[in-house]
Structure 1
Amino acid sequence: MEEPLIPLVPMSHTAHIRSHRKPRNRSASNLAMRAGVAGGVLSMAAVGAAASANAAEPVTQTLELPTLTADMATQVAQSAEATQQAAADYQLQAERDAAAAKAAKQAKADLALAQKKAEAKKKAEEARKAAAESATRSSARTVLSTTTTASAPSGSVGTVISFLKAQVGDAYVMGGTGPNAWDCSGLVQAAFRQVGVDLPRVSQDQSTVGTDVSLSNLQVGDILYWGAKGSAYHVGVYIGNGQYLDAANPSKGVVIQDLSGYPATGAVRVL
C-alpha cells in the first residue's frame, strides 16, 4: 500500500535570514521581582533548614536575671531572718510542749504515789486503832470482872449482871444475838436466858413483860426501855449507882452509861 503524499509548502526567500528584531529590554523592576522571588525561595529554604536543625537539637533559652539592688538585698536578708526566727520559735514551742508533757506525766506519777502512801497510812492507822480498842476492851473486861466478883449481886440477878458486863466492848449489829455482836434486845434476851427467863426477842415486847417499876425505885437487874410501853425502840438493864448497860449503837457498841445522860421512859422487873 502506498503512503500518501504530503504536499510541500514553498519556503519564503527570507527564511534563512536571522530576525533583525532587537532583543527586548528587561526592566529593573522585572529583575528585582525575580531577585525577590529567588530570595524568598532561598529564605524559605534557610528557614526549613533551621527548623530541621532546631528539631534535631534542643533549644536552650537564656534568661537574664534582674540586677540585685540594695532594696532587694535588704528584703532577701529580712526574709531569711524571718525564716530563721520562725524556725527558732517552732523549736522553742516544741521544747515547751515536750517539757509540759513530761511535767504532766511526772505529776500524775507523784499523785499516784501520794495516794498509795496515804492509803497505806490510813490502813496502818486503822490497824493501830483497832489494836488499841481491842486492848482497851480487854482491860475493861478484866476490871469489870474483878469488880463483879467483889460486889456482884447474889442469885439470879448477879448472874445476869455478870453476863452483861462480860460483853462490854462487843460490837453493835442490828439483829445481832451474839456471841460477839449484839443489838439491844438480843443482849437483854441472852442475859436473862442465863437464869432461865425466856424473854421476847424485840424491844417492843420486852417492855410489856414482868411488873412495871417506877424510875425512882429501880433495883439492879430491872429492864429499862425507851419509847412508849409496847412500842419501845430501845432496852437496857439497870446495874446500880445510876448506871445501865446496853448495846447502844454501831459507834459505841456494848457500853455502861449514866442514866442521867439518857433517861429511860420506863422500867419492868422480871426477877
Structure 2
Amino acid sequence: MSHTAHIRSHRKPRRSASTIAMRAGVAGGVLSTLAAAGASGAANAAEPVTQTLELPTLTADMSAQVAESAAATQQAAANYQLQAERDAAAAKAAKQAKADLAEAKQKAEAKKKAAQEAARKAAAERASRSAERATLSASVSASTSTSTSTATGSAADIVSFVQAQVGDAYVLGSSGPSSWDCSGLVQAAFKQVGIDLPRVSQDQSTAGTQVSLDNLLPGDILYWGSAGSAYHVAVYIGDGKFVGAQNPSTGVAEKSLSYDPPTGAVRVL
C-alpha cells in the first residue's frame, strides 16, 4: 500500500451521465414553461378586455329620495304655472284698466262737450228771449199811443171794478171780495157786465178773440204764457197799463205793460 493511499484526493469527482441528463431535462422544462407563459401573455394582450359595471341596488331610502325629488319637481312646475297664470291675469287686468280709463276719458270729454253745447244753447235762448222781450216792450210802448185810453160802456165798468180792488190781498184760489187770485179777479170783473168767464187762466186766455198787443183796448184780457196754457191773466185799463192780482207780495196792483210785458191778449167785449 502506498503511503499516500489514506489521503483524500482534492480532485472533484466526475458527474455521472444520468445526473447531467436529469439537470438538462429540468432546465428544458423550465424554459418550455417560460415560453408557454410568454405566448399565453401575448395572446391575452391581443384580446379586447370587456369590463362589466354592477349598478347599485335601489333601496327603500333611495326610492323615498327619488319620490321626494319627483314631488319637489312637480311642485316647482305647478308654482311656475301658477305664477305664469298670475302674470297673465295681471297683464290682462292692466290692459282692461287702461281701456276703461281711455273709455272714461272719452265719456268725460263727451259730457264736457255736451255741457258746453247746452250752456251755449241756453245762453243763446236767454239772449233770444231778452231780444223778444225788448221787442215786445217796444211794441207795447208804441201801442199805448194808439190805444184808446178812455173806456166806455161795459169796458168802463170792468175797468172801474178792477181799479177799485187795487190794494186787496193776493190769495191763491180766492174770488173776493177782499182777496183774489189773478183769474178770480178777471172773472168777477166780467161778471159785473153779465159775462160768465171760465174760472182758470188757461181757459180765459182762449175765451175771446186773439188781438195783437199793439192794438189793445180797455177791457181786453192780457195773458202770460201760451194761449190755452197761460199761467197769469190781468185786465188792460188803457194808457199802457193793466190791473191784476200779481202775487202775495204786491197783491192787486196797477202796473205798466213794460213792468212785465204780456205774451198775448184776447177781446171778449
TM-score class normalised by the smaller sequence: 0.3 to 0.5
TM-score by length of 1: 0.44
TM-score, normalising length from structure 2? 0.44
Q: Whose relative contact order is higher, 1 or 2, with alpha carbons under 8 Å and at least 6 apart?
A: 2
